[in-house]
Chain A
C-alpha cells in the first residue's frame, strides 16, 4: 500500500503453497444472494466492495486477478478499480497463503517486550523468512503493525485469534499445534 521501504511482504507464488484454487472463480447462488443483500445495505452498492472481497478471499483462498475481475463484474466496476482496492489493504492476499497465517506484531509496545525474539523464533522453527509460506502450505509468517493489544505484548494474530503474552516457548507450542 505504499511505495516506501516498509515491509510490504507478499508471499511469492510457489507450486505447493496454500490451498488449491477452485477450478472456477464463481460464487454459489446463496453467496450471490448475500452479495445482493450486502449491496442493498449501502446508499451506493459500491460500499459493499470490502465485505464482498472478504467473501471472495474466504471462498477462493486469496484474491487473484481472476477473482478481482469476477468481483468487478458483480459491481459493474472496472477490474482496475478492484485491483487498486485489493492492493491497498494488507488483509487481502494476491497470492495463495498458507492454511494458517501467523502475524506477529512488531510495533512499539511489542518491540519493548521482545517481539524480535518471537519473530526470530518463528523464522527458525518454520525455516522461512517473514513474508514467506512453508513449503507444505501450512503457515504464512508475517510481521505486522500494531494490532492494538499492547497490554499483552508481545502478541500475534493467528488466523482469527489474538494470541497474547507470547514467549518463544509459547509461540513454539502454538506453531506446533497448527495443522
Chain B
C-alpha cells in the first residue's frame, strides 16, 4: 500500500486548522523553498514528474516555466477549485480537511513563478469548502504566512461547469460570463487581467510542499515512468465502498475497484467503468487492467482526467446513462462555438428518444457522425470531452441501443 501524502491528516480531528497543520509538519517546506532560487523550485517540480491533476495532465513544472523570462509586470497564480467534473469530489475534501496544504503549496508556487497575487476560484455550490478555506486564509494571514509578498483572494463562482476550463475560469474571474478564450496566447503569456497567469488545480498544488520537503526523486519514484506521485481517486457508482482513495498513480483500475473500493456492489457483475470523470471515454469490463496514470488511459483511447471513477454494474442501462450524460453536456455548453452548442442539443434529443423507445434507425450513426465532425473544431476541450462518452457508449454497447430502436 502506498504511503498517504495528501490525505494523511484527513482522519485527524480539526485537520483543517493551522494548529493541527503545524503539528504535523505543515509550513516547514516554506523555509526550504525560501532558500531556493525560483528557477530551482521549477526544476525540482519538473524532475518530480508532477502532472496536473485537474484534468489535462500537463507537466506542472513545464507549465510554470512558460512564464516569459525577464517579464517585469504582475504575474498571477490562479487555483482552479471549480470542481465540477461528474464523478469527482477530491478537491472538496482537500479544501475542507487540509486547506493549509493548498495555501503552503500556493506560497511556494508563487515564489517559483514570481507572483505576488493568487486567486482561488471555488465553485459557487461549495459553500462549506469556501468557508473552511476562507477561515484558513485568515489564519495564514494572522500567522504571517500571507501578506508578506504574497496575497490570496478567495473568489466564489456562481454555477457553470465551463468555468472549470482554465480560460473560461479566467473570463469568469474577470467579471465576464465564463466563455473560454482562444489559445494561443496561452494563460502563461496572457492570462487573467492580461497578465501572465498560471492556472493549477487544488490537488496539484497541495503536492508541492511535499515535493520541496522530500525531493523530486522521492516523488517521482511513487508513480510511473512518466508521472510521479500519488493522487486521490474519487470512486462512486455501483461499488461496495464509494469514497476517495489516495494511491500511487501506477495502480490499475482493477485494483482500485476491487482492492480499494471493495468490488462491485451486491457482488454483481461489472459492466463498464467511467475512468476519469464523465468526459473520459467509457471502458468495458475487460479493459480495466490499465494503470491509472495519464499515459495508461491514453493508451486505451480514454483519459484519466480528474480521476473520477464511476462504476456500472450489469443492472445499468447504457442508453439511459447516455441520456444523463448528454443532458449534462447540452445544459453546460456555454454556447460560444456552433458545433458544440448545436450538437450537444441534437445528441441529447436523439439519445433521449432512443432510450424512450422511439429512436429512428439512423439515429446511432447520426450521433456518431455529428460527434466526430465536431471534435477538434471548438475553442476549448469541452466538446471533445462530450464526444468521448458519445462515441464510446455507442460503439462499445451498440447492441443495447439497437435493441431499443423499433424495427419497422
Give A contacts to B, CB under 8 Å. 1-8, 41-44, 46-51, 53-54, 75, 77, 84-85, 88-92, 106-109, 111-112, 145-153, 157, 160-162
With most chain A CB atoms within 10 A of its CB, the pick from B91, B125, B334 is: B125
Take A1-B335, A5-B345, A43-B74 as given contacts and tell me if A146 and B242 are in contact as well, using a CB distance cutoff of 8 Å: no
B residues near A108, Cβ cutoff 8 Å: 86-87, 237, 274, 278, 310, 321, 324-325, 328
* Contact status of A2 and B160, CB under 8 A, knowing A149-B92, A153-B242: no
Q: Contact check, A151 vs B89: say whether CB atoms are below 8 A apart.
A: yes
Q: With the chains together, A47 CA to B195 CA distance in Å?
A: 14
| A109/B331 contact (C-beta < 8 A), A53-B158, A54-B156 known | no
Closest 10 CB pairs of A and B: A6-B331, A90-B159, A49-B175, A46-B175, A150-B236, A89-B158, A4-B345, A88-B177, A91-B159, A4-B330
Some 5 contacts from A to B, beta carbons below 8 A apart, are A51-B155, A108-B278, A146-B86, A150-B88, A150-B310
Task: Give the residues in chain B near A47, CB-CB below 8 Å.
Answer: 155, 173-175, 193
Find chain B residues with CB under 8 A from A7 CB.
Answer: 327, 331
Query: B36 contacts the other chain (Cβ, under 8 Å)?
Result: no
**B85 and A112 within 8 A (CB):** no
Q: Which residue of B lies closest to A159 (CB)?
A: B127
Q: Closest CB-CB distance, B327 to chain A, in whole Å?
A: 6
A44/B158 in contact, CB under 8 A: no
**In the bound complex, what is the Cα–Cα distance between A106 and B274 (angstroms)?**
17
What chain B residues lie within 8 Å of A4 (beta carbons)?
330-331, 333, 341, 344-345, 348
How far apart are B281's CB and chain A's nearest CB, in angstroms?
Answer: 14
Asked if B35 is an interface residue, CB under 8 A from chain A, the answer is no
| Contact assessment for B125 and A91 in the assembled complex, using a CB-CB cutoff below 8 Å | yes
If A91-B125, A92-B158 touch, does A146 touch B327 (CB 8 Å cutoff)?
A: no
Which of A3, A50, A84 touches B158 (beta carbons < 8 Å)?
A50
> Does A150 contact B330, Cβ atoms closer than 8 Å?
no
Partner of A6, one of B244, B316, B348: B348
The size bracket of the interface on B is 35 or more
B203 within 8 A of A: no
Cβ contacts under 8 Å, A48 to chain B? 175
Q: Is B254 close to A, CB under 8 A?
A: no
Would you give the shortest CB distance from A5 to chain B, in whole angstroms?
5
Q: Does B99 contact A (CB under 8 A)?
A: no
Question: Given the complex of chains A and B, what is the CA–CA distance between A111 and B158 in angstroms?
Answer: 24
Q: A150: which B residues are within 8 A, CB to CB?
A: 86-89, 234, 236-237, 242, 308, 310
Contact between A153 and B236, CB atoms less than 8 A apart = yes
Q: A85–B84 Cα gap in the complex (Å)?
A: 19
What residues on B are CB-neighbors of A6 within 8 Å? 327, 330-332, 345, 348
Bound Cα distance from A146 to B160, whole angstroms: 11
Alpha-carbon separation in the docked complex, A116 to B109 (Å): 44
Residues of chain B within 8 A of A148, CB atoms compared: 83-85, 88-89, 91-92, 123, 126
Given contact pairs A7-B327, A88-B160, A107 touches B193 in the complex (Cβ within 8 A): no
Q: Given the known A-B contacts A108-B278, A151-B236, are A50 and B193 also in contact in the complex, defined by CB atoms under 8 Å?
A: no
B238 at the interface (CB under 8 A from A): yes
- Given A108-B324, A150-B310, decide whether A157 and B331 contact each other with a Cβ distance below 8 A: no
Q: Chain B contacts of A109 at CB under 8 A?
A: 86-87, 236-237, 242, 310
Q: Nearest Cβ in chain B — how far from A39, in angstroms?
A: 10
In the complex, are the beta carbons of B349 and A107 less than 8 A apart?
no
**A88 and B124 alpha carbons, distance in the complex (Å):** 13
Residues of B within 8 A of A44 (CB): 174-175, 193
Please name all residues of chain A whose beta carbon is closer than 8 Å to the beta carbon of B193 when the two chains form the complex.
Answer: 42-44, 47
A164–B160 alpha-carbon span in the complex (Å): 22
A3:B324 contact, CB within 8 angstroms = no
Cα–Cα distance between A109 and B308 once the two chains are bound (Å) = 11
Asked if B235 is at the interface (CB within 8 A of a chain A CB), the reply is yes
Instruction: Tell me the complex Cα distance, A137–B394, Å.
Output: 44
> Could you say which residues of chain A place their CB within 8 Å of the CB of B123?
148
A51 to B155, CA, bound (A): 7
Q: In whole angstroms, how far apart are the Cα atoms of A147 and B335 in the complex?
A: 22
Note all chain B residues with C-beta closer than 8 A to A2.
Answer: 330-335, 341, 344-345
A41 to B137, CA, bound (A): 15
User: Would you call B324 and A106 a contact (CB within 8 A)?
Assistant: yes
Also in contact, A107 and B236, with CB within 8 A (given A50-B158, A89-B160)? no
* A112 and chain B: residue at smallest CB distance: B237
Cα-based distance from A89 to B159 in the complex (angstroms): 5
The smallest C-beta distance from A78 to any residue of chain B, in angstroms, reads: 12
**Is B157's CB within 8 Å of the partner chain A?**
yes
Known A-B contacts A108-B310, A151-B236; A50 and B175 likewise in contact (beta carbons under 8 Å): yes
Q: In the complex the two chains form, what is the Cα distance from A8 to B327 in whole Å?
A: 11
Nearest residue (CB) in A for B177 is A88
The reply to whether the CB of B161 lies closer than 8 angstroms to some CB of chain A is yes
B130 closest partner in A (C-beta):
A160
Apart from A112-B310, A150-B234, what 6 extra A-B contacts exist at CB < 8 Å? A2-B334, A50-B157, A107-B324, A112-B316, A146-B328, A151-B234
Docked complex: B47-73 residues within 8 A CB-CB of A: none
In Å, the complex CA distance between A85 and B178 comes to: 8
B128 within 8 Å of A by Cβ? yes
Taking a contact as CB atoms under 8 Å apart, the answer to whether B156 and A51 are in contact is: yes
Nearest-neighbor residue (CB-CB) of A153 within chain B? B236
Tell me whether A50 and B89 are in contact (CB under 8 A): no
